[in-house]
Amino acid sequence: MRDRFLKKFQKSPKYRILVALKKGGSLSVGELKTRLGLSYMGVKQHCIQLEKDGVIDHRRRALKNRIGRPELAYGLTSLAENYFPSHDTPFTHELLESLAGLYGRSAPEKILYTAYQKRIQSYRKRLTALLVEEKIDQFCKLREKDGYLLDVKGAGPDGWIVTEYHSPIGALLSNYPILSHFELQLYQKLFHPQVKRTSLKTGAPYLAIFEIPCVA
């Protein structure tokens, strides 16, 4: 039921506003209008409704490089997380805790490691024989289907930068830090052993930045 609602909601301007705030942080109506290509009044009305729903809030901030009255800037509340895909469920956490109780503290990590190896193999099958640019583009599409929210930018001769703004396993990453290592390993095994993660925040808002070097 929740998945069907999310798929329908993801086609709406309101969701596009949430995504823009997820990626850009605090933004004014004018900035949202520019980023989304919507009308000023349309964005304003959607923001008013989203704030009534408790999904965003606003605060006043000084104008950038201008003199005048402070402007309203909107940002996400914790409730906004409910509008992004999540694979974290109470049962998942209970299952991993039960495994630790039955088979020792390392049992959850072993299960998660096995799951990641299977995921890496699944990605490899879909990315085989693609040029590196196509490979990165297809990888990002697969990640989005898996519930991640990300952008990719070419970094000239130095490679590419992938920025993840949302992870569907956010709570698991906080409870099982080794998952962060598995996430980096996934990038390294699919693209290059020297992929670097230059930023990581597992709390809310989530953020992870990966630098993928050009293949020599």
In order of their start, the domains of the chain are 2-83 (1.10.10.10), 90-212 (3.30.1380)
DSSP 193: T
Residue type, 99: L
The mean per-residue pLDDT over the stretch 97-123 comes to: 95
| pLDDT of amino acid 20 | 96
Which residues sit opposite 27 in a β-bridge?
74
Whole-number pLDDT of residue 1 = 53
In the predicted structure, residue 194 carries a pLDDT above the cut 90: yes
Is the pLDDT at 116 greater than 90, yes or no?
A: yes
Give the chain as a DSSP string.
Answer: -HHHHHHHHTTSHHHHHHHHHHHH-SB-HHHHHHHHT--HHHHHHHHHHHHHTTSEEEEEEPPTTS-SS-EEEEEE-GGGGGGS-----HHHHHHHHHHHHHH-TTHHHHHHHHHHHHHHHHHHHHHTT--HHHHHHHHHHHHHHTT-EEEEEE-GGG-EEEEEEE-TTHHHHHH-THHHHHHHHHHHHHT-TT-EEEEEE-SSSPEEEEEEPPP-
Of 88 and 186, the one with more pLDDT: 186
Alpha-carbon gap, residue 169 to 84, rounded angstroms: 11
Joined together, the tokens standing for residue 17 give: 């506003």
- Asked if residue 3 has pLDDT above 70, the reply is no
d(CA 127, CA 39): 39
pLDDT given for residue 155 in this prediction:
65
Q: What does pTM read for this prediction?
A: 0.89
